[in-house]
Structure 1
Amino acid sequence: MAVSLMLSMSILLGSLSGPVVSTTFTLTNSCGYTVWPGLLSSAGSPPLSTTGFALAPGESRSVDAPAAWSGRVWGRTLCASDPASGRFSCATGECGSGAVECAGGGAAPPTTLAEFTLDGAGGNDFYDVSLVDGSNLPMVVVPQGGAGATCGATGCLVDLNGPCPADLKVVGADGAGIACKSACEAYGRPQDCCSGDYGTPATCQPSASSQFFKNACPRAYSYAYDDATSTFTCTSGTATYLITFCPSMSSLKSSVSSGSSNPSPSTPGLPLVNDTVSFAGRGDGSSSYPYAYASAPSLSLSAPWPLALAAAAFTWLCVAPRHRLLRL
């Protein structure tokens, strides 16, 4: 009887204590303006303690994620409350809740997205920074203390709002660029959206528009099947994750160096920024794209190529579909 009572009390206390914390996300705003992060749990994942808040320039805030959490994090910009209705809205990254908390709403494109699946296949955390839905601000994810051959910094250090091609650019009230659309959003064509007859890796290929993003930010997702060079993994439970809006290279190197097992952004492999990209034209005789249409970057990911290739195949078969579903 006593054993049964103790077991019942243990189960009750366990249920009251809430979900087990798997990892911590630390969000830092290095922009010269306020950013309002949005956080969305995917279907079937427990909600986080917050779905949105304000981050002043230089401010950081940590959010704990439960075990096996899956979802996305992004930054909203140019936000304000309407004086008449009190409704809160943002010019980019809007989640449609009418409040600072997103209340489960997803990000309206174009928005830079950080995507996570914690404690996924093979006991790994999977993460990426995606420009598939366009870009609204630079963002980098840096694991701290993580383990694994492809456990390293990823994201986009470049503010693409200025050099964004005219047909993809979103401008604010003053005419300045505030976001950069994906080709899918701009044109809605199946070949740009990887839909319909173009819904497989064989039929959906990088376009000039997606290469604009890839050339500037080689480690970030540029289109739906950009898995091999854009999905990163850390052994589950070994890392916390720093998510920085508008990071500088010096701050990134400092963040990376504090996690000794993570590769430096200066080590061989895919760079965070492609410094060799020309700004002269698209490379096909057109001058409408500020970045050259260059060849695809190396696949090495700071790992021996057989391991990187195996990781890419595993990602495609087991993990990438979940990330593509997150972006739908």
Structure 2
Amino acid sequence: MAVDDLSVRLKVYEGRAAVLGGRGKDPVNSPMIRHWCEAMGDTNPAYTGPDAVAPPTMLQVWTMGGLSGHETRAPAYDELLALLDGAGYTSVVATDCEQVYLRALRPGDEIMFDSVIESVSARKTTKLGTGYFVTTRMDVRVGDELAGTHRFRILKYAPAHASGEGERRRREHAQPDEQPRSPQQPHPRERPRRPRPVVNRDNAGFWEGVARHRLLIQRCADCSTLRLPWLPGCNACGSPEWDTVEACGDGTVYSYVVMHHPPFPAFDPPYAVGLIELAEGVRFVSNVIGVPYDKVRIGMPVRLAFVRCDEESELPVFRAEGEVVEA
């Protein structure tokens, strides 16, 4: 299928419904709000008590269909993804979301929502590979009143290491005695790079600290509440003023998962991703190294380390204390 022909076929899906007349499987409720706040470490008193409201960032939570999905799911979105799969754009990554809050949600509110395929981009070439950005917009309502909108964007792409163009370039630079390799088997020296972190005005200082091997935690200038990851304002008192403190580097594994699937260029599953509780009391998500993935345990002491992924990227990770880092 020619690229131009595919682009025309994809554009037909813009404006078509992905979910029509969706209904939240549960009303807004206090237990879910409590779970969310505990997981996020958010102690704002607005989310507790008889006059509690739900954290605005939970907007999408009340629309999730779980394993069984939604009966009102329209076929257009699945058709669009199948069309991209058939054209070779079989990998997918969520890139970003945007939310607009118009009304506070309170326990007992019954949620209704519609979702539409808002846009399909022209073909784009990224560091991950070549593909198409697909944006859906969900309008969340309580009765007839619009409570907020949630835009969600994914990239459906063909991985760069599997593209014919990448293989052609590799062959052009191959040594005379080097044997050609299939597009699915990149040369060891061509290991794909890890995705770059998104650096913006709200977190640039954090990444500047990482470059100097410092893990910086934001501290509210008004109420002294610590926060990590970085945010533009305090989630306890709302103040936009802040400074930073440097983490001492000690922590424990608060929780963890072992990633087995999906396989992704530049990553070698299985590997452990931990939610680390730092000595300062905030939590941070990163890899746990220095111990086999199946030996990671809740409560395990860890120590901050910095790992260079490539010539441009260095990341903070946590090494199990008393263990030798495996090569």
TM-score scaled by structure 1?
Answer: 0.26
Higher-RCO chain (CA-CA 8 Å, sequence separation at least 6): 1
The structure with more strand, counted as a fraction of residues: 2
